[in-house]
Chains A and B, each alone.
Chain A
C-alpha cells in the first residue's frame, strides 16, 4: 500500500481506539460547507480608527486622501519627508495617474531586486490587527510589496473590515477560487532574533506607508 493509504488507515484505526469525544460534532464536509465562525473579540471599535491605531502600533505610517487623483501628491510628500528615491515600481492599475506632475518615475510591472520603492493597492484591510490583505493576481504582483525597501499601499476606506473572518467572507463572495497567494501584511518586516532586540527590515520592507482613500 502507498504511504497515503497507510497513514489514512492508521488515522482511522487510532480514532476508533481513542476515547476522545468530538465536542463540536458534525462531519468534515458539513463544517467546510457551513464554515461557522468561532467566538469573535467582543470589544467594540470603529473600524477606521482602530485600523489607524493598529497601524501606528505596528510602525506603519499613515496618510489619507479624498480621491486617487491626489495619490501622486501624497506619494511625493511621503518620499520627500523620508528622503527616498523618486523611481517607483507599482501595480499597473496605478501606472496611468498623473505622476509626471510630481516628477515621479512610475513603472507598472512586477518588482525586481533593485527596486527601492513599491506602490500597491490592497484587496481589503483588517481593523482588528492593522493588516493589509493582498491577493496575488495577473496585475497584483506579490513582489511589489516584498522586494523594495519601502512599500506604499493604498487602502480604500470602504474596505476596512472588522476581522480576518470578514476578509475571508469577502474573498469567498468576490472570487471564484482563492488566488495563489493571500498575503496578510501587518507593518514593516521585523525580527528580534538577536538578543530580543527589535529590528525593522529583516528581509522585507523597512517601511510600510498606508494611504487611505475614499
Chain B
C-alpha cells in the first residue's frame, strides 16, 4: 500500500471537521472501550495472564529462527507448501503463481493486514483474477474503493447511510436502511462466491510451531468458508506471528478477543494444519502458506523490537485520544493508532512518517491496555530520538528547544529571563488574565484555546524575597 503518512497533519485537521466521521468514531469508541473494560474485569487474574503473554511473545522472538523451522517442518509433514517472501512483490507474485498453476479465476479473501501491506488485491486483479473480500467491513471498503481505517473494524469510518447508498448502487437493488438487512444482503450476494471460488486467501493470526498450523480468528464465518470451500487455500502471514505451543495459543485467546472487541471469545477460531486428508469430504486439495519478512527482522534487531510482540487486537488505537478523534486514515498506511505510529516508520523508513511518533500525547493509555505490554510511548520516543539524530526535526522545534535548554541549564540567566517573561505575560494577560493570541511558538495553541497568563512573579522570586525578609 502506498504510504501517505507525511500528510498526517493536514489530513487529521480535515478529519476533525468531518461530522460524519466524528459520529462514527464516537460510536466505535463507546463500543470498544466499554466492552473491553467489562470483560477484562471479569477475568480476575488478567494482569498475570497479560504478563505471561508478553513473556511468551518475547521468548518466541528470542528463538524465532528455531520456532519457524519447527513450524515449517511440521507444516510440511502435514502437506502444507511453505513459501518465504522478502518483499511485497515477491509475496504477491507467489500468490499469482499459485493461482495460475491451479487455473484459478476467482479468489475469495478473508481479511489480512499483510495483504493490505503488499497491496495484494490490486496486484492479483492486475493479472486478470477476480478477488472478493468477504469480511463485511472489508467487502464494504472494497466496494467503495477505499482502504481500511482500523485493523479489526475496517469500515468503522463509514456510516450506515454510506453503506446503504453504496450497496444500492453496487448491488443494483432497492436501498436498505437497516444494519441487519444490509448485512444479510451482503451475505446473499457473497454466498454464491464462496461456493464457486477456486481459491481462498486468508491471513493468519498465529502460526503454531507445535503442530505446524495456521490459525484465524473471526466472528462472521467468512474465514471458515475461505479455508473450507475452495479447492486451493493460501494463507499469508509474517514471521513474527509464530507461537510455540497450543497452550501458548490458548493463552493468547484469553487476551485477543477481550482486547479487540470486548468478547470473551470470538465466534470462530479455526486452526488449519495441511490440506484435505485422505477420506475428508471437504477442505482444500492444496494448502500454501507464505511467510513475509519486510521490515520485521530489521525491527527485531533494533530498539523497537518489543513492537513485534503485537497480536493485532487494535486496543491501542481504540483507547488512543488521538486516534479516537482523527480516525485511522489520517495515519496514512496500513496500521493506524499507536502501533501504526511505531510500525509505519519502522517498516517504511522514519523519514516517510515524521509526524506519527510525535502526534501522541504520551498518555500511555495504549501501553496499559496492550495485551502483550508493548511500551508504545517509549517506542515512539525512541523514534523521536532517531529523528533527532538524523536531524529530521523542524527548525522551529530544534531552535526553540536549543534556546530553552541553553537558558535552563544556566540558572542565573534563566532566573532573570523568566522574571521578565512572567511580568510580560502578566501584562499581556490584562484584566482577563488570559492570552488570546500567541505568535510564532504557540500560535496553534491559541487558535482554539486561550493561554492562561502567568501571575506576574516567579516562585523563585517570591520565595527568595520571603527568605531575605526573615
Contacts and interface: CB of A to CB of B under 8 A. Distances in A.
Interface string A38-82: 110111000000000010011000000000000000000000000
A2 B158 CA distance: 43
A20 B225 contact: no
A183 B219 CA distance: 12
A23 B55 CA distance: 6
Contacts of A37: 247
A195 B27 CA distance: 7
B143 interface: no
Interface string A184-205: 1111111111111101011111
Contacts of B83: 3
Contacts, number: 288
B244 A31 contact: yes
Given A24-B59, A164-B250, A202-B136, A180 B277 contact: yes
Given A42-B44, A43-B44, A178-B213, A196 B27 contact: yes
A183 to B, nearest CB: 5
A85 interface: no
Interface residues of A, number: 83
A92 to B, nearest CB: 10
A87 interface: no
Contacts of A14: 297-298, 300-301
A165 B180 contact: no
B385 interface: no
A204 B220 contact: yes
A139 to B, nearest CB: 8
A202 B219 contact: yes
A192 B266 CA distance: 12
Contact of B84 (A4, A18, A177, A182): A4
Interface stretch (A95-103, A117-125, A130-138): A130-138
B251 A8 contact: no
A33 B265 CA distance: 27
Contacts of B432: none
B170 to A, nearest CB: 15
A141 interface: yes
Nearest to B212: A178
Contacts of A179: 273, 277
Nearest to A54: B264
B160 interface: yes
Main secondary structure of the interface of A (DSSP, over half): loop
Given A22-B58, A141-B282, A196-B31, A181 B264 contact: no
B224 A32 contact: no
B280 A137 contact: yes
Interface residues of B, number: 109
A194 B134 contact: no
A155 interface: no
A6 B228 contact: no
B84 A193 contact: no
Nearest to B252: A38
B265 A131 contact: yes
B315 interface: no
Nearest to B245: A35
A27 B244 CA distance: 10
Q: Which of A113, A186, A193, A199 has the most CB of B within 10 A?
A: A193
Nearest to A172: B246
B220 A191 contact: yes
A84 interface: no
A193 B153 contact: yes
A181 B283 contact: yes
Interface in B254-277: 254, 261, 264-277
Contact of A197 (B134, B180, B239): B180
Given A20-B305, A138-B279, A141-B281, A41 B209 contact: no
Contact of A13 (B59, B86, B184, B301): B301
A173 interface: no
Contact of B274 (A15, A110, A180): A180
Contact of B282 (A42, A110, A189): A110
Contacts of A183: 224, 268-271
A3 B222 contact: no
A213 interface: no
Given A22-B63, A42-B45, A28 B221 contact: no
B81 interface: no
Interface in A115-167: 128-131, 136-138, 141-143, 146, 163-165
A38 B305 CA distance: 23
B65 A129 contact: no
A71 to B, nearest CB: 22
A32 B187 CA distance: 40
Contacts of A15: 61-62, 64-65, 300-301
Nearest to B51: A39
Nearest to A26: B59
Interface of B: 24, 27-28, 30-31, 43-45, 48-49, 52-53, 55-56, 58-59, 61-70, 78, 83-86, 90, 134-137, 140, 153-156, 158-160, 163, 179-180, 182-184, 187, 190-192, 194-195, 209-211, 213, 219-222, 224-225, 227-229, 239, 244-251, 253-254, 261, 264-277, 279-283, 291, 293, 297-298, 300-302, 305-306
List of 8 A-B pairs having minimum Cβ-Cβ separation, nearest first: A204-B221, A14-B301, A202-B220, A28-B66, A10-B297, A197-B179, A193-B137, A129-B265
24 contacts: A6-B86, A11-B64, A14-B297, A24-B55, A27-B63, A28-B63, A32-B209, A128-B264, A136-B280, A146-B225, A163-B250, A180-B78, A181-B273, A184-B270, A186-B265, A190-B220, A191-B137, A194-B160, A195-B24, A195-B179, A201-B184, A202-B136, A202-B221, A203-B191
Interface of A: 2-4, 6-8, 10-15, 17-18, 20, 22-29, 31-32, 35-39, 41-43, 54, 57-58, 109-110, 113, 128-131, 136-138, 141-143, 146, 163-165, 168, 171-172, 177-197, 199, 201-205
